[in-house]
Structure 1
Amino acid sequence: MSEFQHLERLTQALLAAATRAGADQADAVALDASAVSVDVRAGRLEHAERADGVEIGLRVICAGRQASVSASDHTTRTIDEMAARAVAMAREAPVDDTLGLADPDQLAHDIDMARLEMNDPGSDPTPQALQEMALAAEAAALAVIGISTVESASAGHSRRRIWLAGSNGFSAGYGRSGHSLSAIAITGEGLGMERDWAGESRVFAADMPSPEEIGRLAGERAIARRGARKPPTGAFPILYDERVAGALIGHLVGAVNGTAVARGASWLRNALGEAVLPPGFDLREDPHRPRYGASRLFDAEGLATAPRLIVADGVLQGWTLDLATGRKLGMASTASAMRSAGSPPSPGVTNLELTPGTRTREALIRDMGRGLVVTSMLGASINATTGDYSRGAAGFWVENGEITHAVNECTIAGNLRDMLMRVTAANDLPDWRAMRVPSLLVEGMTVAGG
């Protein structure tokens, strides 16, 4: 508890300094974080890093103007200087009448995060234990026949303690833990080299897959990419594997973010109450899911969070809003505010889940006939206003309903509004993801290959 008491004292000191400096309103955040990461290669430790520190942040609001400052030093002198600087900056900022903290009667009362199980009570893994896990993942990848080398295998652990407080009376905090493990495997040499990876992260160590499972999967994925070549050019169905399908839905999520909508820079800015997915699809946000890294009972402005449907039966239900964007659009906040120490709140989402389908990924591939399965993407050209979409991709080519070979160096293109209305979901909804999205088949997209 002492760590939280220290963080709470820091936020109260920041608020008091802001008041002395002349702020009308203020909120503050204090973060105490520690992280250890270990990278191995060729059976040896390649890199180890440990980071510890406390960061403090302050936002002030003065006559409809705001400014945010942060520091890693938390002496009394620094806190007073931060407050004075923030107020001086705010007085030079443009006026925005939508700025302001939550009213006291809007604030969350249920602030005990213990029931969300966000902090692993077990002992922190030692650097030696992390190294052994990374070495085990590397060895498992190298044991896959055809793997020439493992580019890297990494293991990490982190803990964060956060306290938020506002001049409106809100004051609460929580802790988070994180465990991660990944491996990148390579097959072939020179121009014939292909790589792929596998990795997982969890709040609780007990929920992590074994290092052997992660390493083996990285090796098997890399082997499957041998002999990759460019696909033909034309209009084909595309199956977004569950590894990357979340990125497609992420474009929808970004388009319904209140910041983009308020600026008019969203291809869904006029779509409220309209179909944005086929009938039967729900897109649900659940910030109260236990043991998920982004879960929370209150947002960065102290409002109580709750599960909500962003899309219900294919129809867009609402925007993702914090207090300021809600006021701009004449709506209530959806308790979606997020912030870092050095920035003001902005809307964001946690723990999304898209309705899965009833058929397997393999059944959708059989029904494709001829087309592309995408397993990785790079680069992006997305027009936020029109929804025009173009991305580099790699994956596997399908002929007569069967995967025939790996493909690379291709571009896939379409318009997001049209694409999302032509999706079919598989039943392979992944677990332990911040965005749980199954494999998605999209008809009639453009593939540009060789």
Structure 2
Amino acid sequence: MTVETDPLVLIQDLVERALKAGADSADAVAGLSTSISHAQRLGKTEKLERQESQDLGLRVLIGKRQAIVSSNDWKPDGLALLVERAIAMAKTVPEDSFCGIADPDQIVGDNYPKLEMFDPQEPSAETLIARATETEDAALAVAGITNSEGAEASWGQSRIALAASNGFAGRYQGSNHSIAVSVLAGTGTAMESDYDYSSAIFGSDLTDPVEIGRSAADRALKKLGARKPPSAKVPVVFDPRVSGGLVRHLTSAINGAAIARGTSFLKDKMGQAVMSSGITIVDDPHRARGLASKPFDAEGLANKRRNLVENGILQTWILDLRAARQLGLTSTGHASRGTSSPPSPSTTNLHLETSTVSPTDLISDIKSGFYITSVMGMGVNMVTGDYSRGASGFWIENGQIAYPVNEVTIAGNLMDMFLAMTPADDLDFKYATNAPTIRIDGMMVAGT
């Protein structure tokens, strides 16, 4: 392939040009993507689009100064201008004593794993239309469903290439299929809406469209007649649809960038109990058909499955090279980046491991409590751990789901919440971050 058509060859050439132009070191990332999306409402097409894009980013370092320039112009003249601008910028920006690419002995080399991340079967537009139609029709066929907010089906693929002056050169490709629908139940001011969706690397792994449609309808119908519960301090149970958010709050608090800035409520908790005994949280970049899998990190370092929390004990920060240098540690292979920004720490496929308790048993002894199916708002303070969000779901009475509730606020502190967590056994790998049903005792619920 020519330099113009092979993204890895292209960015290797770009790095060489940067070095010849005066850079002490450099790296570059390139991405090409193709996607098709279809949206419809009540059987009528609202969107059918195909998009193709390409982008690349060049990072150059001169001493302890770095600059990043991105472009979707891959023509020779455009690339020459990209190098020129990056070098000029790097000569003028302030120094950053912690920036820099990996040393040659840190990179993974060319023996990185080949992961199951790409479905070579591109669906036709007709296939996507059929998926959306089946999903919406199944939902509308359920008695009590009165309207549709629309159904969508999409597919996309991407190719990523990374090269650096330390000798690293690697590439991988991924794909994604998805279907979704949102419908309304009831009439007038008593209407309620809900949705369901499925997303997978391989089209064959998608949940059946009819099942998705019926599930969305069932969720909407169950919300009819919602009311506010009494304000109280009660056990709160997070449905798997929302429990993964608690895991993401934990990983935000142990992100190396936040730890280096001292802006995390867990900044002094390494090696200590930060969650209840028995809880283990895993980050696995190599999980087969994982929605966030990748064979190496964005700095060319090896990545691997890690227990971030094991039996409640915090095991590691989430580190890229810069955060690791700030903390006097070694990168954990968690660098992520786009084409227009430097690497930063980020997780991949996350999950909280299960217990042996069923969701039914988890709530069986709750005399009065709140089962949450959706949360809203951004009331989470990562410096203090204070947590306050809007929520809706169902009220629990005597170990049973009693009635739907909405317009509720839940509040607590993440440190206390983590230490009070009890997971169930219903883990399902549906998202990039997954957790089973989770119970937390003693949270404040503000209703009537």
Q: What is the TM-score when the length of structure 2 is the normalising length?
A: 0.97
Give the superposition deviation at 1:110.
4.9
**Partner amino acid for 1:121?**
P
Aligned-CA RMSD value: 1.5
**Partner amino acid for 1:71?**
S
1:249-270, CA deviations, whole angstroms, 9 ceiling, x for partnerless residues? Answer: 1101100000110011101000
Task: Give SS of 1:137's match.
Answer: helix
CA distance in 2, matches of 1:282, 1:3: 46
Work out whether residues 162 and 175 of structure 1, in 8 Å CA contact, stay in contact via their aligned partners in 2: yes
Residue 306 of structure 2 is aligned to residue 308 of structure 1: yes
Residue 43 of structure 2 is aligned to residue 49 of structure 1: no
CA distance in 1, matches of 2:377, 2:42: 30
Residue 393 of structure 2 is aligned to residue 395 of structure 1: yes
Aligned to 1:73: 73
CA distance in 1, matches of 2:288, 2:426: 21
**Partner amino acid for 1:79?**
L
Residue 402 of structure 2 is aligned to residue 414 of structure 1: no
Give the superposition deviation at 1:67.
1.8
Residue 153 of structure 2 is aligned to residue 155 of structure 1: yes
- Superposed, 1:23-172 pairs within 5 Å as 23-111=23-111, 113-114=113-114, 116-122=115-121, 124-172=122-170
Give the superposition deviation at 1:394.
0.7
1:112-167, CA deviations, whole angstroms, 9 ceiling, x for partnerless residues? Answer: 553x2111132x11111101110000000011111111201000000101110001
CA gap 1:362/1:4 in 2 versus in 1, 3 angstroms: farther
Residue 268 of structure 2 is aligned to residue 270 of structure 1: yes
1:202-246, CA deviations, whole angstroms, 9 ceiling, x for partnerless residues? Answer: 111111111111111111111111111122112111000011000
Aligned to 1:261: 259
CA gap 1:323/1:220 in 2 versus in 1, 3 angstroms: same
**Partner amino acid for 2:15?**
L
Report percent identity of matched pairs. 45
Task: Give SS of 1:79's match.
Answer: helix
CA gap 1:353/1:65 in 2 versus in 1, 3 angstroms: same
CA distance in 2, matches of 1:325, 1:398: 44
Work out whether residues 4 and 163 of structure 1, in 8 Å CA contact, stay in contact via their aligned partners in 2: no
CA distance in 2, matches of 1:3, 1:194: 54
**Partner amino acid for 1:258?**
G
CA distance in 2, matches of 1:264, 1:321: 14
Task: Give SS of 2:301's match.
Answer: coil
CA gap 1:4/1:31 in 2 versus in 1, 3 angstroms: farther
CA distance in 1, matches of 2:425, 2:332: 29
442, 445, 448: which one aligns with 1:444: 442
CA distance in 2, matches of 1:196, 1:4: 46
Work out whether residues 360 and 426 of structure 1, in 8 Å CA contact, stay in contact via their aligned partners in 2: yes
CA distance in 1, matches of 2:5, 2:77: 20
Give the superposition deviation at 1:16.
2.5
Aligned to 1:16: 16
Work out whether residues 110 and 304 of structure 1, in 8 Å CA contact, stay in contact via their aligned partners in 2: no
CA distance in 1, matches of 2:20, 2:60: 12
CA gap 1:184/1:235 in 2 versus in 1, 3 angstroms: same
CA distance in 1, matches of 2:3, 2:337: 21
Residue 283 of structure 2 is aligned to residue 285 of structure 1: yes
Aligned to 2:192: 194
Work out whether residues 24 and 62 of structure 1, in 8 Å CA contact, stay in contact via their aligned partners in 2: yes
Task: Give SS of 2:360's match.
Answer: helix
Task: Give SS of 2:365's match.
Answer: helix
Give the superposition deviation at 1:312.
1.1
CA distance in 1, matches of 2:243, 2:250: 12
Aligned to 1:341: 339
Work out whether residues 150 and 183 of structure 2, in 8 Å CA contact, stay in contact via their aligned partners in 1: yes
Work out whether residues 178 and 199 of structure 2, in 8 Å CA contact, stay in contact via their aligned partners in 1: yes
CA distance in 2, matches of 1:354, 1:205: 26
Task: Give SS of 2:298's match.
Answer: coil
CA distance in 1, matches of 2:423, 2:217: 27
- Consecutive unaligned residues of structure 2, counting only runs of 5 or more, are none
Give the superposition deviation at 1:43.
1.0
Give the superposition deviation at 1:354.
1.2
**Partner amino acid for 2:244?**
G
Aligned to 2:425: 427
Work out whether residues 4 and 75 of structure 2, in 8 Å CA contact, stay in contact via their aligned partners in 1: no
CA distance in 1, matches of 2:33, 2:26: 23
CA distance in 1, matches of 2:386, 2:157: 40
Work out whether residues 287 and 350 of structure 1, in 8 Å CA contact, stay in contact via their aligned partners in 2: yes
CA distance in 2, matches of 1:426, 1:265: 31
CA gap 1:24/1:190 in 2 versus in 1, 3 angstroms: farther
CA distance in 1, matches of 2:206, 2:110: 29
Q: More deviation in 84-93 or 130-139?
A: 84-93
CA distance in 1, matches of 2:108, 2:254: 24
**Partner amino acid for 2:419?**
M
Task: Give SS of 2:348's match.
Answer: coil
CA distance in 2, matches of 1:2, 1:159: 22
Give the superposition deviation at 1:190.
3.2
CA distance in 1, matches of 2:171, 2:5: 10
Q: What is the TM-score when the length of structure 1 is the normalising length?
A: 0.97
CA distance in 2, matches of 1:2, 1:273: 51
